[in-house]
Chain A
Amino acid sequence: GNSVTQMEGPVTLSEEAFLTINCTYTATGYPSLFWYVQYPGEGLQLLLKATKADDKGSNKGFEATYRKETTSFHLEKGSVQVSDSAVYFCALSDPGTSYDKVIFGPGTSLSVIP
């Protein structure tokens, strides 16, 4: 079945450091890929998405490229801020059916210290 694996946290970085959170997936067909962010005490927000191979999703300085050959969708940001402290979830859905569920990875907690 479809699944998502992402690097274990927690990740602690200093402000302005470079961030990479690795994500790989297993899926039949051609899934859409997402990164969701959950700030402390809040719900899930879509951070960025990519719907086909080689697409790059980007938002708020974050970016991720859909790599079909390596089945990966790594999240990167060149310079993190304290306000980026949150839990980041890599996820996929199968666009083959409009109502297909989103499958989430386990989440990676990021703490950015001043």
Chain B
Amino acid sequence: EPEVTQTPSHQVTQMGQEVILRCVPISNHLYFYWYRQILGQKVEFLVSFYNNEISEKSEIFDDQFSVERPDGSNFTLKIRSTKLEDSAMYFCASSGGLAGATEQFFGPGTRLTVL
């Protein structure tokens, strides 16, 4: 069964450093997303991406964040200068196969720890 994959599973970084979180969405999906879950809190939407551009972003997704689909398979989230409060689990999701769908499929997440 197709699945969304994410790497790395755990990333530790120093405050102020740049990090790139990587995702491989399901191959025929057209819509891509990033969500964040701070430990013990609810899952929050960050950004959605379609047709090589951002379709919606939340207030959390400020200028420190960017997304990119550098090739036909990867979808990345970059945080330019990490802050302590960026420590969280980051989930990638994809949806919208050729037949259309509302269901989003989530990856296993990347746990980001900022020291």
Contacts and interface: CB of A to CB of B under 8 A. Distances in A.
A44 B45 CA distance: 14
Contacts of B44: 104
Contacts of B56: 99-101
Interface of A: 32, 34, 36, 42-46, 49, 51, 89, 91, 93, 95, 98-107
B43 A43 contact: no
Contacts, number: 64
Contacts of B101: 98
Interface residues of B, number: 28
Given A98-B100, A99-B56, A99-B96, A44 B91 contact: yes
Contacts of A104: 42-44
Interface in B71-113: 91, 93, 95-96, 100-109
A15 B60 CA distance: 40
5 contacts: A46-B103, A93-B104, A104-B42, A105-B42, A106-B42
A101 B45 contact: yes
A99 to B, nearest CB: 4
